Structure 1
Amino acid sequence: METIKIKDEYITLGQFLKLTNHISTGGQAKPFLQENKIYINGSLDNRRGRKIVPGDEVKINETGDYKVMNL
């Protein structure tokens, strides 16, 4: 599981996908989320505005596992 550190109290799922290099621009978030399965704390979620906070675990396509932490 890879650790992702954020400085704010939350980031959106779209920002998270850019931070983890799954997409390069915000405009790619919607198509990416339609084609891929994203699990946040074990629940399927495809809302690009979903808030991700420190302590959340994100799984992308059952291959990328991430733990979000504060800086």
Structure 2
Amino acid sequence: MSTEHEVPIRDESIRLGQLLKLAGVVDDGAMARSVIELGEVSVDGAPEVRRGAQVRPGQSVIFAGQTIRVVAGG
């Protein structure tokens, strides 16, 4: 079953690895790097293998059946 939640960010964008940690779907940076490099994360429906990829408000990240919607604020 998939779940969806919004994660507000303060800046114009956030690095993908940081977003996964902020959203609480990974425990630490090492886990974030691993799941991203293994191709388990997608941004707006496309696989993303760069931990430093910039994610902006309005974009959606999917990992392990969870959809993370990035919103401005926070």
Q: Which runs of 4+ in 1 moved over 4 A?
A: none
Q: Percent identity between the aligned chains?
A: 29
What's the CA shift for 1:54? 0.4
Matched, 1:50 2:53: yes
For 1:65, the equivalent position in structure 2 comes to: 67
SS of 2:31 mapped into structure 1: helix
SS of 1:15 mapped into structure 2: helix
Per-residue deviation, residues 16-44 of structure 1 (Å, max 9, x unmatched): 11101122332332222234511101111
SS of 2:50 mapped into structure 1: coil
For 1:28, the equivalent position in structure 2 comes to: 31
Per-residue deviation, residues 3-62 of structure 1 (Å, max 9, x unmatched): 11101000000101110112233233222223451110111112100000000011113x
Aligned Cα RMSD in Å?
1.5
SS of 1:29 mapped into structure 2: helix
**When the two structures are aligned, how many residues end up with a matched partner?**
70
